[in-house]
Amino acid sequence: MRMSDDAIELHRVSVTYRMHRIRSLKEFTVRTVVRNRDDSRVYALRDVSLRIARGESVGIIGDNGAGKSTLLRVAAGIITPTAGMAVSRGTMAPLLELGTGFETELSGRENIFFNGALLGRSHEQMEAHLEEIIAFSGLERFIDTPLRTYSTGMVARLAFSIATAVDADTILLDEILAVGDASFRARCDERIQRFLTAGSTVLVVSHELPVIRHLCARTIWLSQGAIVGDGASDEIIDRYERERGG
């Protein structure tokens, strides 16, 4: 059987969360006795099906709470769907919630190895790319100081440098390009283009629509957990801006 050309496949994927979280055994008992369990759920994703081919650059847009970050986490294998099936192929480099996979009491240098291990990279791989990671991040002066002393932008620079130092089949970016100065953004863009040229798949979640237009040939528009648009980036973003009065 021929191997699929898709890097990511979602088949009727739904992700739901309980509206009310029961915080104690006492609360559970009281609600059971008075028959008020409140099992209502909210959909983060609702019956989402899509295919993303190897080597595609895809943007994901939508208002806050639309399900963008949830979709990225399902693609990364971090969230298991409540219903449906998600398949991802190849190695992943997820740059999701800023600061995830770091220890604030460790130095930047120590976090390179710590975060690399969480991404499935060996100590030897990270050692081989150590100087490149430090140079790309531009944090040479601060690399041996605790991460708790870093600004948000510095953490973003370190996270991007680590995740993209070793080649990956798929890069997942969640608002990471919104942080950092113009010079670093330009270097990030150059590195993403390198990945695309090499045939990697890139998924980008961002509220910055010019970034999506520039990086992504295809855009998926989510609203209330469902896909309402999927096509060429200029077409989908123009529709999105018209409907929002932008």
The ranges assigned to domains in the chain are 6-244
Q: What is the mean pLDDT of each run of 10 residues along the chain (246 residues)?
A: 74 86 56 57 93 95 94 93 95 77 94 91 94 95 96 89 87 78 83 90 92 94 96 97 83
What is the reported pTM? 0.82
CA 165 to chain centre: 17
Question: What is the DSSP annotation of 74-89?
Answer: HHHTSS--SEEEEEE-
H runs (alpha helix) in the chain: 25-33, 68-76, 108-118, 123-137, 152-163, 182-197, 209-215, 233-244
Count of Cβ atoms closer than 10 Å to residue 144 Cβ: 11
pLDDT score for 3: 46
Beta-bridge partner residues of 92? 170
CATH dotted code for 6-244: 3.40.50.300
Residue with tokens 């460790």: 106
pLDDT at position 120 is 84
- Residue 169 has a pLDDT of 92
pLDDT reported for residue 2: 41
